[in-house]
């Protein structure tokens, strides 16, 4: 019997959920299609029917998660640094409450070796899926705010985006991946993130004296 579109979509989403679980626990390199197939009682061929390569699967996973929550969508029209701050804090709230997004972030930060070859393949596949890199949109937003006069810093949009990303990802990495560290018992992530973002944004914001 031929599968209905609904059944095929359900199977595809199940593969994506199990792949995310496996990637976050075993890592990208060690996870195989056979591992995923065994967990959901499918043949490896059934996985290949949906995803021809592991890079296809990874790109689809990125698109799937971005469809459920796109962290930098508000930055496409942002005209103030307050909107940038709000976007980062909203992302932090999603990571704190949504297990799948948290799993994916942990996977991205510590369970995959980002070789130039993998990044190039992934970029091509994401372009084909019309999925924009969130970091590219952050850079574009910083450049736009510089043009609008909201930012007074001589730093480039790329440099400012790197500072904001380092603050956001660095604090989450410390909170999630180094919990055994004695000092992390004192780290309250949300207020620490707010303070870090404010430190950076206040340093680049145009003042009334400019």
Q: What is the DSSP letter of 208?
A: T
Q: Annotate 124-185 with DSSP letters as a single string.
A: HHHHHTT---HHHHHHHHHHHHHHHTSB--SS-HHHHHHHHHHHHHHHHHHHHH-TTSGGGG
Q: How far apart are the first and last CA of the chain?
A: 71
The tens digit of pLDDT for each residue in 64-117 reads 999 999 999 999 999 999 999 999 999 999 999 999 999 999 898 888 888 999
Residue 1 has pLDDT above 50, yes or no: no
| Distances 139 to 2, 123, 143, 165 between C-alpha atoms, Å | 46, 17, 6, 10
The tens digit of pLDDT for each residue in 119-165 reads 898 888 888 877 778 889 999 999 999 999 999 999 999 999 999 99
Full-model pTM = 0.86
Angle subtended by helix axes 81-97 and 157-177, to nearest 10: 20
Q: Which of 60, 49, 70, 71 is nearest to 18 (CA)?
A: 60
The tens digit of pLDDT for each residue in 38-68 reads 999 999 999 999 999 999 999 999 999 999 9
Token digits for 145? 């705010």
């Amino acid at each position: 019997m031929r599968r209905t579109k609904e059944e095929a979509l359900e199977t595809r989403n199940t593969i994506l959920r199990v792949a995310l679980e496996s990637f976050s626990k075993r890592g990208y390199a060690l996870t195989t299609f056979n591992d995923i197939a065994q967990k959901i009682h499918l043949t490896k061929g059934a996985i290949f029917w949906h995803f021809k390569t592991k890079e296809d699967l990874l790109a689809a996973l990125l698109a799937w998660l971005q469809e459920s929550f796109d962290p930098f969508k508000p930055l496409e029209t942002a005209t103030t640094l307050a909107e940038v701050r709000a976007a980062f804090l909203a992302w932090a709230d999603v990571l704190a409450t949504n297990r799948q997004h948290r799993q994916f972030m942990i996977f991205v930060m510590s369970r995959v070796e980002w070789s130039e070859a993998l990044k190039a393949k992934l970029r091509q596949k994401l372009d084909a899926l019309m999925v924009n890199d969130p970091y590219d949109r952050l850079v574009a937003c910083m450049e736009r705010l510089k043009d609008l006069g909201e930012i007074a810093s001589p730093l480039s949009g790329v440099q400012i985006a790197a500072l904001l990303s380092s603050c956001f990802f660095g604090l989450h990495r410390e909170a999630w991946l180094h919990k055994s560290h004695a000092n992390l018992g004192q780290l309250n992530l949300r207020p620490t993130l707010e303070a870090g973002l404010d430190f950076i944004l206040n340093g680049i914001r145009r003042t009334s004296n400019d």
